[in-house]
Structure 1
Amino acid sequence: MKKYAYIGFLGFLAVITTEFGVIGILPQIAEHYKISIDKAGYLLSAFALVIALTGPFMTLLTSGFDRKKIMFTSIAIFLITGFVSSFSPPFWVLILVRILPAFLQPVYIATALSVAVANADADKKNELMSIVFSGVTVAMVTTVPFATWVSSLWSWEYSFMIQTVVSLIALVVIYFMLPSMPVKEKKSYGTQLKILTQPSFILSTAANFFMITAWFSTYSYFADYLNKAKGMNETMVSYMLFVFGIIGVLSTWIAGKMLNKNVTKTTAFFLSGTLVIPVLLYFSNGNLLSTIVVIGIWGFMYSPSFLNASTYMISSVPDSLEFANSLATSFGNLGVTLGTTLGGWMIVTKGVEYNPWIGFVFGLLAFMMMILKSFYEKKERKVLVCKG
């Protein structure tokens, strides 16, 4: 039902505004707390690491709870996070309140996707999932660049105020528009954990991990990269986030349609951006127009990455939607953690202009996992034909 998909989308908008809203203000936070940019990056990497380590466990633990209550509780914690952060607490408190909602982020995503496709026809599920996932790209178009722009006018604390307002709107909509959804039949832990033994799923998980690592080695430091490597000021960076995001909304919609036709080819097409973008960024040099065009292409290729990664993983185990989605979220965020950490290390040791080449290397690794998965599935089909 599309109504539930759009409710899930609104909550996802709040989630992503909170998780990635700091990307545009990391330089300001680093300056305020008198710390290096890589340490400020902990606000992103610590959030992602908690998701990576606890996501599947939390999803299994909450799999028997009413879905409306799970979604409401998750967004309520995101609201508290934004509110406390807007008062510029000590840095350790800022990291602590950033970490708290991370425990329920994969639970929210898995639940929202499950609610969206609960009664949908098989040929409509990927499209409904793309509506929920478009919360990522719409956040990149609206709330994330708007928060960055507002912080450039006043101060970075206003960015967290905007995150609080978005979470409040999502909370109200979930409370009044989503009916109670108790789980009628809870799957056993054993049934859900069984997917971890399937080679095809393991390889798709590795592809997801490498793919997100590739993108976030540079994207986590988007503001710092454009500022130092391309000479843009904070206001210009907020405009670039807007360009990045508005093209991303279109590409996510296109990706949803393409995934309905062929999951593997769609994933490979958008993954190719991890190889193309570093080359284009290098050759754009300091030319402003060229850089804007490349940022547009970057936004188009990057934006459906979480949708593609999740769908690619779920296609291996279509009967374990929620648990597979929580694993996709966890390994994706493990990729965010590794990408952010490696990106911060590169900035400190070499310079931010080299960050895109980390993405190039991990993009190649992701392609290798996809090729291995394809070979394995062909081999399995041959075995089945022989047995038949």
Structure 2
Amino acid sequence: MNRSIYILALGAFGIITTEFGVIGILPTISREFGVSIDTAGWLLSAFAITVAVSSPFITALTTKINRKFLLCLVLGVFIISNLLSAFSPNFTILMIARILPAFFHPLFWNISLAVAFKQGGAKAVSVVMTGLSIATVLGVPLTTYAADFFHNWQASFFLTSVISLFAFIGLLLFVPSMPGNGNKPGESQLHILRDKRLWLNLVSTVLTLAAMFSSYSYLAAYLEKISDMNGTQISIMLLLFGGMGILGNWLMGLALGKNVMLTSRVFFLLLIGVQVLAYFFGTVFIPMVVIVSLWGMIHTGGFLVPNIRTTQAVPHSALEFVNSLLTSCYNIGISVGALLGGLVIAKFGVHEIIWMAVPLLLTAYILSFVHIRKDSIG
């Protein structure tokens, strides 16, 4: 396979690690800048909101620009923003440094998937998606470990900056020039917006991601406050969470290949179950190790389930357009989840965040039984 595909996967790993890597150091940032943990959570939710809002506009405005130039530009912005984050003198500057790359985040993702599909079809796309998958399960423990190892929260931002730098150099040296084009979404793509099944799946996607991140966004704080773990133990637990997530990602892919709807419903029930266990056994060390392992293995399925359920129900000609909608919905869900989790923490304490995730998952589970006829497109 063309080596440029692997470089794109590395770039995807860098930008997703930048987005989620802050999760593991939220308690530290909260103490460092003297803000509440729910306020610190805006570093994640504001990033996701910006991605969700900017995605369709930034893509439409850059269709005629050389794709290699745009990819390098995005990674350059990520390198600079991570360095700005590391040297932020106060929380306001840190928030600005976080939001800056979020405007360009969807641009890298959309171009990477399009280039991968053109060069190597579904197999190449899966390689780029692997960069995302590994980042979502290992990016957090890596950045958390870096901060703990160097006893400095800035180390996590230096790490993500270095990852993006390597991808930037790879793009510059090994990816050929790719002229842009002036194509706009065709009538066949916009027509899919009349499909009620699409909207049902998009709503379910937002609910699923909101449920996942209402609790996962504050997992480090939960382990610190409820499980009474220190920085090293939390880093190990997050690494365990991520490692089991890789296994879960593989198992979920196999299960979805056999029966998408049954697997989706089982996923919802399993994620509910493991979070309820975390609530009742969160104060006991050994059971919590087992619970976090299971949680990580199940959690990663939340990225695959909505994607497969949604894309399998739309025409092949509209996949690129639908994927852009999914990108927005994923980030809307992440931002809403982080916001709701923060509100629960502010009012009831970090132990109660589980009870925000559970009703959201139950709603998504119930929606999986709603059937809309295929010929519902007007």
Q: Fold conserved (TM > 0.5)? A: yes
Matched, 1:163 2:160: yes
Aligned to 1:208: 205
Q: Which residue of 2 aligns with 1:133?
A: 129
Task: Report the alpha carbon displacement of residue 145 of structure 1 after superposing the two structures with TM.
Answer: 1.5
Q: CA deviation at 1:195?
A: 2.5
**Match of 1:294?**
291
Query: Using the alignment, how far apart are the partners of 1:251 and 1:371 within structure 2?
Result: 24
Q: How far 1:359 sits from its partner (Å)?
A: 1.1
CA contact (8 A) 1:247 1:296 kept: yes
Mapping of residues 86-165 of structure 1, within 5 Å: 86-120=86-120, 125=122, 128-140=124-136, 142-153=138-149, 154-165=151-162
Aligned to 2:34: 34
Aligned residue for 2:346?
A: 348
Q: How far apart, in 2, do the equivalents of 1:98 and 1:353 lie? A: 27
Displacement of 1:2: 6.5
CA distance in structure 2 between the partners assigned to 1:177 and 1:319 by the alignment: 30
C-alpha contact 1:217 1:342 (8 A) present in aligned 2: yes
Gaps of 5+ in 1: none
Q: Return the offset for 1:242.
A: 0.5
Contact 1:8 1:132 in 2 (8 A): yes
Query: What corresponds to 2:19 in structure 1?
Result: 19
2:276 is aligned to: 279
Partner of 1:238: 235
State the distance in 2 between where 1:264 and 1:22 align: 33
Task: From the superposition, tell whether residues 2 and 238 of structure 1 become closer, same or farther in structure 2 (CA, over 3 Å).
Answer: farther
Residue 355 of structure 2: aligned partner:
357
Q: Provide the C-alpha distance between the structure 2 equivalents of 1:334 and 1:12, rounded to a whole number of angstroms.
A: 19
- What's the CA shift for 1:128? 4.5
How much is the aligned-residue C-alpha RMSD, in angstroms? 2.3
Question: What is the Cα deviation at residue 71 of structure 1?
Answer: 2.2
1:140–1:242: 8 Å Cα contact kept in structure 2? Answer: no
Q: 1:68 and 1:88 mapped to 2: Cα distance? A: 30
Of 248-257 and 358-367, the range deviating more from structure 2: 248-257
CA distance in 2, matches of 1:256, 1:70: 31
Structure 1 stretch displaced more, 153-162 or 178-187: 178-187
2:374 matched to which residue of 1?
380
Secondary structure in 1 matching 2:233: helix
- Contact 1:217–1:355 (Cα < 8 Å) also in 2: yes
Change (3 A) 1:60 1:272: farther
For 1:360 and 1:2, locate their aligned partners in 2 and report how far apart those are by CA, in whole Å: 43
Q: Which residue is equivalent to 1:53?
A: 53
Residue deviations 1:348-372 (CA, integer Å, cap 9, x gap): 1111111122111111121233322
- Greater shift, 38-47 or 129-138, is seen at 129-138
| Worse overlay, 42-51 or 98-107 | 98-107
String of CA shifts for 1:314-372, please: whole Å, max 9, x gaps. 22333223322221111111111111111011111111111122111111121233322
Distance 1:368 1:3, change over 3 A: farther
Distance, in Å, in 2 between the alignment partners of 1:265 and 1:73 is 42
Corresponding position of 2:313: 316
Give the SS at the match of 1:371.
Answer: coil
Corresponding position of 1:180: 177
Q: Does 1:333 align with 2:325?
A: no
Task: Give the conservation status (yes or no) of the 8 Å contact 1:59–1:323.
Answer: no
Equivalent residue letter for 2:235: S
Letter in 1 for 2:344: M
User: Aligned in 2, Cα 1:137/1:242: closer, same or farther, shift over 3 Å?
Assistant: farther
Does residue 199 (structure 1) correspond to residue 196 (structure 2)? The answer is: yes
Counterpart Cα distance in 1 of 2:228 and 2:323: 39
In structure 2, do the counterparts of structure 1 residues 3 and 369 end up closer, same or farther at CA, with 3 Å as the change threshold? farther
CA distance in 2, matches of 1:246, 1:107: 28
1:270 aligns with 2:267: yes
Residue 310 of structure 1: CA displacement? 2.6
Q: Is the 8 A contact 2:185 2:321 kept in 1?
A: no
8 Å CA contact 2:20, 2:139 repeated in 1: no
Q: CA deviation at 1:199?
A: 0.8
Instruction: Look up the SS of the partner of 1:14 in the other structure.
Output: helix
SS in 2 for 1:21: helix
Q: Percent identity, aligned pairs only?
A: 37
Q: Which runs of 5+ in 2 are unaligned?
A: none
Deviates more, 1:12-21 or 1:361-370: 361-370
**Higher mean displacement: 274-283 or 326-335:** 274-283
1:142 is displaced (CA, Å) by 4.4
Correspondence for 1:74 = 74
2:17, 2:303 → 1: CA distance? 15
CA distance in 1: counterparts of 2:362 and 2:272, whole angstroms: 7
User: Could you say if the C-alpha distance between residues 76 and 323 of structure 1 is closer, same or farther in structure 2, counting changes exceeding 3 Å?
Assistant: farther
Q: Give the whole-Å Cα distance in 2 for the aligned partners of 1:278 and 1:136.
A: 24
Instruction: Tell me how far 1:3 sits from its aligned partner.
Output: 4.2
Q: Secondary structure at the match of 1:320?
A: helix
Q: Aligned equivalents of 1:283 and 1:92: distance in 2?
A: 37
Q: Is the 8 A contact 1:134 1:249 kept in 2?
A: no
